[in-house]
């Protein structure tokens, strides 16, 4: 019985560590060029990738999906496992990262 408890505890700790590593979003030091930012955003939208968006002037990124294109330079972004929606334009973005 004790072995089962130890095994369960080991699995629980490894799952917690995996989750922490999966969502570890470090802030990039640089800003992406505008053409690369547009290309990666279009690719993330077309292929339904989960991405982390780093915004100008904000410390923490938002992870989620680009759900709808609202114009040439705007998207509707839905945060991962949340009811948070945000209209995102290219001038607000600093970096995009696939999660």
Residue 77 lies in a domain: yes
| Number of domains within the chain | 1
Rounded distance between C-alpha atoms, residue 54 and residue 56, angstroms: 7
Q: Kindly state the average pLDDT of the residues 50-62.
A: 90
Residue with tokens 């979003």, as numbered in its chain? 25
For residue 56, the domain's CATH number is: 2.30.30
Q: What is the pLDDT of residues 63-87, one digit of tens each?
A: 999 999 999 899 999 999 889 999 9
Q: What is the pLDDT of residues 35-49, one digit of tens each?
A: 999 999 999 999 999
Residue 14 lies in a domain: no
Residue 69 lies in a domain: yes
pLDDT(21) > 80: no
The encoded tokens of residue 17 equal 């560590």
Against a cut of 0.85, is the pTM above it? no
Residue-number span of the structural domain to which 92 is assigned: 25-98
Sign of CA dihedral 65, 62, 82, 71: negative
């Amino acid at each position: 019985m004790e072995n089962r408890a130890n095994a369960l505890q080991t699995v629980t700790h490894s799952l917690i560590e995996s989750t922490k590593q999966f969502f570890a979003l470090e802030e990039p030091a640089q800003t992406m060029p505008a053409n690369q930012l547009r290309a990666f955003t279009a690719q993330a939208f077309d292929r339904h990738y989960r991405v982390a968006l780093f915004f100008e002037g904000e410390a923490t990124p938002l992870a989620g999906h680009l759900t709808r294109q609202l114009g040439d330079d705007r998207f509707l972004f839905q945060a991962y496992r949340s009811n948070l929606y945000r209209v995102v334009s290219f001038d607000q973005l600093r970096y995009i990262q696939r999660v």
